[in-house]
Structure 1
């Protein structure tokens, strides 16, 4: 079990995942959750913090508190995306984003698509330093990615458990998707809704997909990536029909992908024609055995200009 949890991965994958996650946090502040800033104008008596907010001595949101968290988190996330000071900046982003989410979710609605992202922010500081393109492998980084993957799959599995726990079998045969389409459906959703019993079949399929999601850990690497691609396609359909994005969850799910192969800066230099960029930076030490072999071959080879005969 320990071996599976700490399966080593290239440091370049950690560097790419770290950059992506911290850039997403910055984008989340200004694109997906800018409405959290409006909590500063809500009367303080309406603030009913989550359990963690009740256990920790966190302040009631005020204009000053919300502004400090917003600008501090935005700056820290952008700096952390560079890979510098991974522990100091990583823990700072984790703490500030957690408080940002406590403020967001303490007024009656809690989104479950943030779980994987919060876990990623909590474990990334433990992965240590990593450079883009570094092919050396790290168990600490592998643990950080594995824990994030488990959180992503728990989001699916526990969502199905909650559906069956609170909705029972009626969730499968009820009008859940029909109500969602009425509230926020698209033209595509309206077309799908006209097919008899298709929404009921879709509800059975959603629960089956969520309950079977842990199977991804049992698949070989190639099939695992294919299944993660299916996960993404599921969310594409969700966005296209009922306009729910699950963007934080999708960002955390990149922990399954070989992100070290995604090198936008290298591709940009190649397109700009700024010299050879095929060589990947690596800190892998040379193999002593190979060096010895090369030395022996060099000793046996005739020197240039030396006569071969007696």
Structure 2
């Protein structure tokens, strides 16, 4: 079990995941949750903090408190995305974003799509330093990704558990999706709703999908990315029909992907034609270098099967 939790991954994957998550936090402030800043104008007596907000001596949101958190978090997230000072900036972003979410969710509505992202922010500072393209493997980074993956899958599984716990079997046969389409459905959703019993079948499918999501940890690695791709396709359909994005959850779910292969700066240099791009791994040991590389460095390796002498 310990080996599974700390399965080593390339440091380049940690660097890419770190950059993506912290850039998402910055985008979240200005694109997805800018409405949190309006909490500053809400009377303080309406602030009913979550349990963690009641346990910690957190201040009631005021214009000054909200502004300091917003600008401090935005700056810290952009700096953290560079990979510098991963622990200091990582813990800073984690603390500020947690407070940002406490403010957002302490007025009667709690979104479950933030769980995976919050866990990612809590564990990323423990992964240590990592550079883009670095192929050396790290168990600390592997643990950070695995814990995030578990949080992502728990989001699905516990959502199904909540549906059955509070809605019972009536959730499966009721009008849940029909009401969602009436409230915020698209033209595509209207077409789907006209097919008899299709929404009921979809509700059974949603719960089955969420309950079976832990299977992603049991299948071979070569199929895991395909299953995660199915997860993403589920959310594409959700956005296209009832306009619910689950963007923080989708960002955290990239912990399953081989992000070290995504090298936008390298691709940009290649497209710009700025000379040859070093495609070799940053940490290739000398004894694993190709023969032509050793020849260029003056260390010519013998070629197997090549005759010696005339």
TM above 0.5, one fold? yes
Go from structure 1 to structure 2 and tell me whether the alpha carbon gap of 1:236 and 1:93 turns closer, same or farther (over 3 Å shift): same
Superposed CA deviations along residues 70-101 of structure 1, whole A, max 9, x for unmatched, are 00000000000000000000000000000000
Go from structure 1 to structure 2 and tell me whether the alpha carbon gap of 1:172 and 1:308 turns closer, same or farther (over 3 Å shift): closer
The 8 Å contact of residues 15 and 130 in structure 2, kept in 1 or not, is answered as: yes
Bigger mean CA offset, 253-262 vs 286-295: 286-295
3-state SS in 1 of match to 2:49: coil
Distance 2:164 2:306 in 1: 85
Go from structure 1 to structure 2 and tell me whether the alpha carbon gap of 1:307 and 1:167 turns closer, same or farther (over 3 Å shift): closer
Go from structure 1 to structure 2 and tell me whether the alpha carbon gap of 1:303 and 1:270 turns closer, same or farther (over 3 Å shift): closer
The 8 Å contact of residues 44 and 61 in structure 1, kept in 2 or not, is answered as: yes
Q: CA deviation at 1:221?
A: 1.4
Superposed CA deviations along residues 159-180 of structure 1, whole A, max 9, x for unmatched, are 0000000000000000000000
Q: What are structure 1's unaligned runs of at least 5 residues?
A: none
Distance 1:194 1:260 in 2: 44
Q: CA deviation at 1:308?
A: 11
Q: What TM-score comes out, normalization by structure 1 length?
A: 0.93
The 8 Å contact of residues 19 and 81 in structure 1, kept in 2 or not, is answered as: yes
3-state SS in 2 of match to 1:59: coil
Q: CA deviation at 1:276?
A: 1.2
Equivalent pairs, count = 310
Distance 2:169 2:211 in 1: 14
Go from structure 1 to structure 2 and tell me whether the alpha carbon gap of 1:218 and 1:67 turns closer, same or farther (over 3 Å shift): same
Go from structure 1 to structure 2 and tell me whether the alpha carbon gap of 1:288 and 1:134 turns closer, same or farther (over 3 Å shift): closer
Alignment of 1:150-229 (within 5 A): 150-229=150-229
3-state SS in 2 of match to 1:82: coil
Go from structure 1 to structure 2 and tell me whether the alpha carbon gap of 1:286 and 1:164 turns closer, same or farther (over 3 Å shift): same
> What is the match of residue 284 of structure 2?
284
The 8 Å contact of residues 133 and 280 in structure 1, kept in 2 or not, is answered as: no
Distance 2:113 2:58 in 1: 23
Q: CA deviation at 1:299?
A: 11
Go from structure 1 to structure 2 and tell me whether the alpha carbon gap of 1:280 and 1:24 turns closer, same or farther (over 3 Å shift): farther
Q: CA deviation at 1:275?
A: 1.3
The 8 Å contact of residues 294 and 301 in structure 2, kept in 1 or not, is answered as: no
Go from structure 1 to structure 2 and tell me whether the alpha carbon gap of 1:304 and 1:255 turns closer, same or farther (over 3 Å shift): closer
